[in-house]
Amino acid sequence: MYRNKYRLIIPFLIPSLLIYLTFVIYPYASAMYISLTRWRGLSQPPQFIGLANFQKMLQDEHFWNALGNNAVYLITLPTITLILALFFAFLLTQGVPLSKFYRISYFFPQLMSVVAIGVLWSFVYHPTIGILNSLLQAIGISNPPIWLGNPKTVLGAVSGVAIWQAVGFYMVLFIAAMEAVPMSLYEAAMIDGANRWQLFWKITIPMIWETLMTAMIFIMIFATNMFAITQTMTQGGPSRSSEVLSTFLYDEAFLGSKFGYGTAIAVTLFFIVLAISLTVQRLMRRDTLEY
193 is an interface residue for another protein by CB under 8 A = yes
d(CA 7, CA 17): 16
Q: Is 167 in the site for another protein (CB under 8 A)?
A: no
Given the complex with another protein, which of 56 and 202 has the nearer CB atom?
202
Q: How far is the CB of 288 from another protein (least distance, A)?
A: 8
Residues 6+ apart with CB under 8 A from 204: 90, 178, 181
Site membership for another protein, residue 291 (CB under 8 A)? yes
CB contact set of 252 (below 8 Å; sequence gap of 6+): 258, 261, 262, 265
Applying CB under 8 A, among 188, 274, 275, 278 the residue interacting with another protein is: 188
The yes or no reply on residue 131 touching another protein (CB under 8 A) is: no
d(CA 59, CA 23): 33
As a whole number of angstroms, the distance between CA 129 and CA 123 comes to 7
Cβ within 8 Å of residue 79, ≥6 positions away: none
- The reply on whether position 152 binds another protein by CB under 8 A is no
Minimum distance from residue 286 beta carbon to another protein (Å): 7
Q: Say whether residue 187 binds another protein (CB under 8 A).
A: yes
The C-alpha atoms of residue 209 and residue 91 are separated, in whole angstroms, by 18
Complex with another protein: residue 176 or 188, whichever CB lies closer: 188
Stretch that binds another protein, among 14-22, 65-73, 180-188, 238-246 (CB under 8 A): 180-188
- Binding test (CB under 8 A) with another protein, winner from 182, 201, 254, 275: 182
- DSSP bridge partners of 48: 37
> Which residue in 185, 221, 276, 284 binds another protein (CB under 8 A)?
185
Helices (H), the chain: 5-20, 26-34, 52-58, 61-92, 99-111, 114-124, 131-138, 151-179, 183-192, 196-198, 205-207, 209-225, 227-233, 245-250, 259-284
Interface positions, 199-238, toward another protein (CB under 8 A):
202-203, 206-207, 209
CB nearer another protein, residue 14 or residue 187: 187
Q: Choose which of 45, 184, 197, 283 interacts with another protein (CB under 8 A).
A: 184
Backbone φ, ψ for residue 38 (5° rounding) = -100, 125
CB 173 within 8 A of CB 219: no
Contact 158, 226 (CB under 8 A): yes
87 part of the interface to another protein, by CB under 8 A: no
Q: Which of 223, 184, 207 has its CA nearest to residue 287?
A: 207
Nearer residue to another protein within complex by CB, 12 or 291: 291
Of 227-286, binders to another protein (CB under 8 A) are 286
Cα angle: 241, vertex 137, 144; to 5 degrees: 20
Q: Does 198 bind another protein (CB under 8 A)?
A: yes
Q: Near another protein by CB under 8 A, which window of 24-32, 63-71, 193-201, 227-235? A: 193-201
2 is a site residue for another protein (CB under 8 A): no
In the complex with another protein, the residue whose CB is nearer, 74 or 86, is 86
Contact residues: another protein, CB under 8 A: 182, 184-185, 187-195, 198, 202-203, 206-207, 209, 286-287, 289-291
